[in-house]
Amino acid sequence: MEFSRVHIIKLVILSLAMVGTMTTWFSMTAVLPELIELWELTSTEASLITIMVQLGFVIGSLILAFLNLPDRIKPPMLFFVSASLAGLLTIFTVWFADDLTSALMMRFLTGVALSGVYGPGLKLITTWFRIRRGMALGFVVGALTLGSATPHLVTGLGAPSWEVVLISTGLCSVLAGILVIVAVDVGPYLLPSSSKFNPRAIPRILSHKPVRLANYGYFGHMWELYAMWAWFGLFLAHSLESRGMDSSGTASILTFIIIASGFFGAWFGGIYADRIGRERLTLWSLAVSGSISLVIGFFFGSPVWLIVSLGVIWGISIIADSAQFSALITEHTHPRYVGTALTLQLAIGFLLTVIVILLVPMIEAIVGWQYAFLILVPGPVLGFIAMFRLLLLQSKSNQ
């Protein structure tokens, strides 16, 4: 029986490791208010702290794909090396980064390291699950979400300085790498080696309509996701301050709850995608998250319970479809080109996050938080249209 105690243990261990490693991704984003004051940063400079991780991740993913390292190095070893590097670089940021320029370089290198965690971690768990793979992938993506939210919890619980937050998250990442290399080996359901990244295959990949539509859906999803994760904490802090409340600690803890709620969205999203179909699950997710991004800004300064309630719905829905877009690519792409197709999807998706992460604080500086998140709305709208077209296309082909 596939779903044995061993499978559950491996899933839990790898998910805990993903939580520990992904704490490094938003470790500096969680302490932006302190860094803005310390280094006298503009809104554009503050956005670069998150953007450099995104760019590093894109470059790292392309390097891994060109060298075909995920197929040449066993996933546990690649995860261990990458998680350890991400953790050490985060700690080194405290020791060697005394200004914005040096901090941005460390953030970029951290993003490069994290590219060896995300994909290989998902690949590793698929070697343990075949029938319930959607659920397992959703659980691991949920762990990724929880890890991304954890720096806000560390800050909210009273970390005395930004240095403590970075050292704590860095150590978590190193320990996570050790946990995987010791306790998570490759499972019984080995995947065939994916093709190397081949730019010449891109026109052939994109000529297949289902692949194009799945990519468009993913791009819309990514346009919204990381900008929400990057800026909701500051939005909430300023909202509390507008009501005369002390936002220190409170905003960070509430932001952790909101983003971490995505754990359940990703997990249950994977379960229901296996039952109702990936296209339908993505439509539900994009519709709900897009609706929240449309209205959330107008609740700036509203009672805390109301903003947090909307934020939790947003946090759950915005990540519920994430793993399904990659799964759709693997299902609709010729096996020879899966590696190239996934790399292309990942690279363009994360490059789009760079644009919108930069735009949100620029818009906020001009028109305020009430309208800043409206820039996210086109993403889920266009993504919804693409996935609805894919659903119709699949329905016709099945008739």
Burial of 142 (0-12, 13-18, 19+ CB in 10 A): buried
* pLDDT of amino acid 399: 61
Domains of the chain, first to last: 1-190 (1.20.1250.20), 194-399 (1.20.1250.20)
CA dihedral 20, 26, 31, 35 (to 10 degrees): 130
Residues of the chain short of pLDDT 50, as ranges, are 1
| Greatest Cα-to-Cα distance within the chain, rounded to the nearest angstrom | 63
* CB 252 within 8 Å of CB 152: yes
- Summarised one tens digit per residue, pLDDT across range 109-150 is 999 999 989 888 877 887 887 777 777 888 888 898 999 899
Q: How many CB atoms lie within 10 A of CB 366?
A: 9
* pLDDT of amino acid 118: 85
* CB 141 within 8 Å of CB 270: yes
* pLDDT of amino acid 303: 93
